[in-house]
Structure 1
Amino acid sequence: MNDGDSAGKHRAGGADEETAGNSQAEKESSQAEKEKKPRSFWRELPILILVALVLSFLLQTFIGRVYLIPSESMEPTLHGCPGCTGDRIVVEKISYRFGDPQPGDVVVFRGPESWSENYTSRRSSNAVIRGAQELGSLVGLVPPDENDLVKRVIATGGQTVECCDDQGRVLVDGEPLTEPYVTMDYPFTPGVQTCDTALKSGRCFGPVTVPEGNLWVMGDNRSNSADSRFHVYDELQGTIPVDNVIGKATFIVLPPTRWGTISSPDIQQQ
């Protein structure tokens, strides 16, 4: 009896151990299956959004950004006329990390103090909404709260710019510029309305010597652009610091009917 009971106990114990082993194996298998299961989309979504926002911030800060053209000062190159759909342009920020803007380039820049006297903030007076707008600006969802302008570079530091020669052309260091992009300008009629007649042409200005590290900029729509000529009596003689330049306008992305590159011709005769 004792031997039989002992054997029975050993068999029962072995069965219990086997059952326990199987249970542990099943648990481990179940745990492994759980670990292999892909994470829920809703759990990953916040991570994906965060990564997208960080990438957008880096892109907008160091590579390029899209800007809306709000005015007609660069017509016909860039559309911003009243009642029409303003162009959205890509402004790349890489070129000027390795060199300065050149005559003929179309640039976006932060307006100096005298250029921003009539600028009003686009931000809400509500602190919460304003904070959300500032955050949106960092990732490119909201325009920056600054007076960003777009014009074409006409002359750079050390050059002397003025208008006009006897054909009404802008001169840089005494040489006339080739400006195929200008289609709208003030009247200039030799012998009738020039820079020397009693009724002077609206084209006339200067001469102005551009300080080193600055640029003289003008709109392609010469008769409707508050550019360097308009600010010639400020502390910078109408010029803008190169440090204010955000980047070079390179491409029109909207509307689709206007897709294309933005020309930056060599306007100074060699």
Structure 2
Amino acid sequence: MTKTSQAKRRLPTWLSALTNFVAALIVIALVQAFVVKIYHVPSASMEKTLNTGDRILVSRLNGAKPFTPQNEDVIVFKAAGDWNDNVPSEQESLAKRVLKTFGDITGIGPSHEKILVKRVIGSPGDTVECCNSKGQLIRNGHPFNEQYVQQDLPFASDESGCGDATLSMRCFGRIDVPAGKYLVMGDNRSNSSDGVARCRGIALSDAQSCVRFVDATDIVGPVISVIWPVKNWTSL
């Protein structure tokens, strides 16, 4: 084959560049769909573990199988049902809507998908309530320490802290976590509209009716690290 015929078979530079660009987009989209995806933290409810605006890396390695979180995992989940109240509506320009539509299709960049980030406190079959005489959460009859909590709600330190006559704002009654559901809370307890936010300060017996659970099918995956800004980099 002559050099002349080889030159004729080469793609034009612009077409070659476009082909490479499309191939790169496909690779990135597949990585974000099945391996890891980048999200941003939408609120202050997880401070100081995660700060508003942090870019976080979320594992997608379970692929088509539902992710099964463990208690204390920090997870990203879709804001569905009652959780939509946690995501403020905003005015969007045409450019932003186009960018989000591109994200919906490719999985790259922002999208119309509304997500939240919280910590798993109760898994299917668990019972959770608050509090014992030290103000600790109780899961399956056992209190546990939460070193990640910032700015917890006030609690009366005596034995009657969660009694009928002296119901502290930290208190909520027994919650039974159903099959296929998870109970989540924010680390920044006094500034978190989480699963039990609507149950605080009301009769302990009403806890099961006011709690918001996360459905297993709405869980995107676990947060594995903060990747931006660099000063906040950490693994979870």
| Shorter-chain TM-score above 0.5 | yes
Secondary structure at 2:77 match in 1? strand
Task: Pick closer, same or farther for the CA change 1:59–1:225 going to 2, 3 Å.
Answer: same
User: Which residue, 140, 143, 146 being the options, matches 1:173?
Assistant: 140
Which stretches in structure 2 are left out of the alignment for 5+ residues?
200-206
Per-residue Cα deviation, 1:36-79 (whole angstroms, up to 9, x for no partner): 8x655323110011101111211111112111112110011001
Deviation at 1:116, TM superposition (A): 0.7
Distance change in 2, residues 1:200/1:47 (3 Å): same
Q: 2:84 maps to what in 1?
A: 116
Which of these residues, 221, 226, 235, is aligned with residue 252 of structure 1?
226
Query: Is the partner of 1:187 in helix, strand or coil?
Result: coil
Residue type of the partner of 1:205? F
Which AA in structure 2 matches 1:63? V
How far is 1:119 from its partner?
Answer: 3.9
- How many Å apart are 1:31 and its aligned residue? 2.8
- Answer yes or no: is the 8 Å Cα contact 1:87–1:252 preserved in 2: yes
TM-score by length of 1: 0.74
Q: In 1, are the aligned partners of 2:67 and 2:221 still within 8 Å (CA)?
A: no
Deviation at 1:260, TM superposition (A): 1.4
CA offsets 1:124-150 (integer angstroms, 9 cap, x no match): 575x97455312343344322132100
Q: CA deviation at 1:113?
A: 0.8
Among 74, 77, 80, the residue aligned to 2:46: 74
Q: 1:151 aligns with which of 103, 118, 121?
A: 118
Question: What pairs up with 1:175-254 in 2 under 5 angstroms?
Answer: 175-191=142-158, 194-196=161-163, 198-231=165-198, 237-254=211-228
**1:33 Cα deviation (Å)?**
5.3
8 A Cα contact 1:122 1:145, kept in partner? no
Distance 1:118 1:221 in 2: 15
Number of residue equivalences: 228
**Match in the other structure for 2:72:** 104
Q: Residues of 1 paired with 2:198 and 2:24: CA distance? A: 41
Deviation at 1:222, TM superposition (A): 0.8
The whole-number CA distance in structure 2 between the counterparts of 1:67 and 1:79 is 12
Q: Which moved more, 1:134-143 or 1:99-108?
A: 134-143
Give the conservation status (yes or no) of the 8 Å contact 1:154–1:217.
Answer: yes
| Aligned mate of 1:62, from 27, 34, 49 | 34
Q: 3-state SS of the aligned residue for 2:16?
A: helix
Which stretches in structure 1 are left out of the alignment for 5+ residues? 1-27, 81-85, 263-270
Alignment root-mean-square deviation, CA: 2.7
Shift of 1:200: 2.2
Contact 2:104 2:113 in 1 (8 A): no
| TM-score of the pair, normalised by structure 2 | 0.84
Change (3 A) 1:71 1:129: closer
- Single out whichever of 108-117 and 215-224 deviates more from structure 2: 108-117
